[in-house]
């Protein structure tokens, strides 16, 4: 997997002081740290992000705007209990759903991982792909990022089927876009300029 094209993009704020996802992330992180449960909570945050990446039906459920906050909370609670998630994560997800933010749960969980990486002195790379990355793809990407000078990188992965294929990797203000959607957009823009 090669990252070939570079374009400047606006800075994505993974700063704990701003943004909805960052505020929720900071609340969970500080609570888990205060209760001396941070390693367990971080493991469960990663596991829940993996579950969200692998389950299209769960993502669709969370994005369903016709559900009220109670229904979303009950459904999410049932899934988390069935999957064996801790009471801390169940309560946190319940608060997110109660506040009508269930559709943004994956983004919030990503912000928790980013906050932890930043506090450990790592660079955060947001990786968007059309399908979940395999272990081999993840390793290859880590190697390519290390070659590019990003040795201590924590990747936050998001699945965006509309990319069709390829990857979009954002590290700070740098955006590496090899997605098919990005290529089609560049071709479309070039054709407009030629007309």
Report the run of H or E that residue 6 belongs to, with start and end.
Answer: strand 6-8
> Which single residue is written with the structure tokens 């070659």?
147
| Per-block mean pLDDT, blocks of 10 residues, the chain (195 long) | 33 49 95 95 93 88 90 93 95 94 92 91 90 92 90 86 92 89 90 78
Joined tokens for residue 156: 């936050």
- What's the pLDDT score for residue 163? 92
**Radius of gyration of the chain from its Cα atoms, rounded to whole angstroms:** 18
pLDDT of residue 16: 37
Domains of the chain: 6-13+121-194 (no CATH), 20-111 (1.10.520.20)
Q: What is the pTM of this model?
A: 0.70
pLDDT score of 94? 93
């Amino acid at each position: 997997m090669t990252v070939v094209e570079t374009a400047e993009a606006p800075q994505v704020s993974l700063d704990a002081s701003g943004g909805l996802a960052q505020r929720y992330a900071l609340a969970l992180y500080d609570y888990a740290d205060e209760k001396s449960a941070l390693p367990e909570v971080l493991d469960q945050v990663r596991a829940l992000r993996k579950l969200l990446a692998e389950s299209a039906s769960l993502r669709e459920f969370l994005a369903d705007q016709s559900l009220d906050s109670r229904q979303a909370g009950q459904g999410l609670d049932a899934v988390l209990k069935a999957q064996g998630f801790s009471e801390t994560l169940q309560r946190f997800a319940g608060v997110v759903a109660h506040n009508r933010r269930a559709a943004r749960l994956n983004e919030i969980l990503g912000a928790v991982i980013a906050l932890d990486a930043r506090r450990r002195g790592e660079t955060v790379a947001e990786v968007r792909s059309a399908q979940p990355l395999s272990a081999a793809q993840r390793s290859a990407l880590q190697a390519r990022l290390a070659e590019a000078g990003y040795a201590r990188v924590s990747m936050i992965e998001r699945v965006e089927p509309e990319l069709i294929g390829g990857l979009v990797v954002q590290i700070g203000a740098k955006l590496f876009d090899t997605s098919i959607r990005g290529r089609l957009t560049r071709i479309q823009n070039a054709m407009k300029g030629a007309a």
